[in-house]
Amino acid sequence: MNPPPPITLAFYYGDDTYSIDRAAVALATSVAGPDEPPLGRWRVTGAATSAAAIGERIATGALFGGGTLAIVNDPAPLIRAKGNRDELMAILATIAPGNALVFVEGLDRYPKDGRLTGAGATLAAAVEGAGGEVRGFAAPTSGGMARWIDDRAKERGMTLERGAAQVLAQRVGAFVREGDIDRRRQGQLAAQELDKLRLYRPEGPVTADDVRALVAEAIPASTWALLDLIAFRRTRDAADLLERVLDVTPEPVVLVQLHRRIRELLEVADLVGSGTRISELPRTLKLHPFRAEQLAKQAAGWTPTELEGALDGLLDLDATVKGAGGAMVGEPTRRLAFTTWLATRVATTTAPSSRG
């Protein structure tokens, strides 16, 4: 019995860009077949191409060498207008032997139920109807990244000593628990660091100390560490970390994150002050229990008046950063404004014993 022909059409979606890229490579390898030239890759966005241009790439087989793998990222613009949508649907049936077509829908957040909506759902259904593959790839969560790293290490023939995967997961920002953290590139970053560690330790197991020596802490983790330090009012440590964060993170982004955290603390303080039990906060605020517990600990170190003052100070800081009134403010002045906010609106002479 002859084996079934390889799949030449796919729609991959999710927030795990590393696994999506691997799936596209695996599909291309399957289409090329053993001992055959690899498929050449043509990568484009939906906004920068058309159904006709895609058809030119995949509707005709290669006379010499390998075929073509067309990868279309963010394909939604191709199907917004009915005429364009019909043209693209017709192209799906014209993939020549030896070629392949993959649509990639990158998501900021993987849907909880795994289901696509809107244009993505329409195109996915069309791909599936044409006999193609539709798969979703969710980025590893904070609790699953260490195991994910162990699996990727085994694929590379590496051995990680106990604790090394956890340290690497922490370094790439996987243990940040905030729901709005961008996890799309964490897998790619972890895989790249594993490749570096394999060169660093070609023989023998990789230790946690090896990871600490070679892998720099990812900025998302540092940013959230800064927010925790500020929320716990550990201003000396926060001031040291603030400089690192501002070197790589736009000031308006840091301001938005600070504003969000102070507002969260105000909300928690108000609920606790009105008699809400800490055990009820996860349900009331729709937060993970650990996150709610941390916010309660942080809010306990402030009075409502202090939190309101910190929020008012952020408004002044925002005006300084944005040059309100047309004033030209240099970077040293803006950095000083951040430090002044820490010293005047966050610092305290008392520290609850639960901090840390």
More confident residue, 192 or 216: 192
Q: Contact, 24 vs 104, CB < 8 A?
A: yes
In degrees and rounded to multiples of 5, residue 17 shows phi and psi of -65, -30
Residue 87: predicted pLDDT: 93
What the block records as the tokens of 350 is: 């008392």
| Residue whose C-alpha is closest to residue 149's, from 213, 208, 223, 209 | 208
Nearest Cα to Cα of residue 144 among 114, 129, 165: 165
Average pLDDT over residues 87-96: 93
Q: What is the mean pLDDT of residues 117-142?
A: 90
Q: Please give the C-alpha separations between residue 122 and each of 82, 151, 171, 282, in angstroms, as whole numbers.
A: 12, 34, 38, 36
Predicted pLDDT of residue 175: 66
Per-residue pLDDT at 121:
92
pLDDT greater than 50 at residue 352: no
What pLDDT is attached to residue 5? 80
Question: pLDDT class for 173, splitting at 50, 70, 90?
Answer: confident
CATH of 221-346, one of 3.10.580.10, 3.40.50.11540, 1.20.272.10, 2.40.50.100: 1.20.272.10
- The SS3 call for residue 347 is coil
Residue-level pLDDT at 354:
39
Model confidence band, residue 101 (pLDDT cutoffs 50, 70, 90): very high
On whether the CB atoms of residues 348 and 301 are closer than 8 A, the answer is yes
Residue 350 vs residues 280, 355, 356: alpha-carbon distances, Å? 28, 11, 14
Distance CA 287, CA 190 (A): 27
Residue 302, classed as helix, strand or coil, is: coil
Question: Taken in order 294, 298, 304, 308, is the CA torsion positive or negative?
Answer: negative
C-alpha–C-alpha distance, residues 24 and 143, integer Å: 26
Contacts of 16 (CB under 8 A, 6+ apart): 110, 137, 138, 139, 140, 183, 184, 187
- Mean pLDDT over 66-71 rounds to 91
Specify whether the CB–CB gap between 144 and 189 falls below 8 A.
no
pLDDT band at 353 (very low <50, low <70, confident <90, very high): very low
Does 63 have pLDDT greater than 70?
no
Q: Does residue 11 contact residue 35 with C-beta atoms inside 8 Å?
A: no
Q: What is the pLDDT of residue 177?
A: 54
pLDDT in tens, 208-240: 999 999 988 766 657 888 899 999 999 988 998
List, in sequence order, every beta strand (DSSP E) within 294-341: none
Residue 2 has what pLDDT?
Answer: 63
Does the pTM surpass 0.75? The reply is: no
Residue 185 confidence (pLDDT): 78
Q: Domain limits of the chain?
A: 9-137, 145-217, 221-346
CATH number for the domain running over 9-137: 3.40.50.300
Rounded-to-integer distance, Cα 278 and Cα 266, Å = 14
More confident residue, 301 or 171: 301
Distance CA 81, CA 92 (A): 17
User: For residue 206, what are its two tokens?
Assistant: 């990789």
**Predicted confidence (pLDDT) at residue 350 exceeds the cutoff of 80:** no
pLDDT digits (tens, 9 = 90+) for 299-330: 999 999 999 999 999 999 999 888 766 656 78
99 has a pLDDT exceeding 60: yes
Per the prediction, the chain carries an average pLDDT of 87
9-137 and 221-346 share one CATH topology? no
Range 145-217 has CATH code 1.10.8.60:
yes
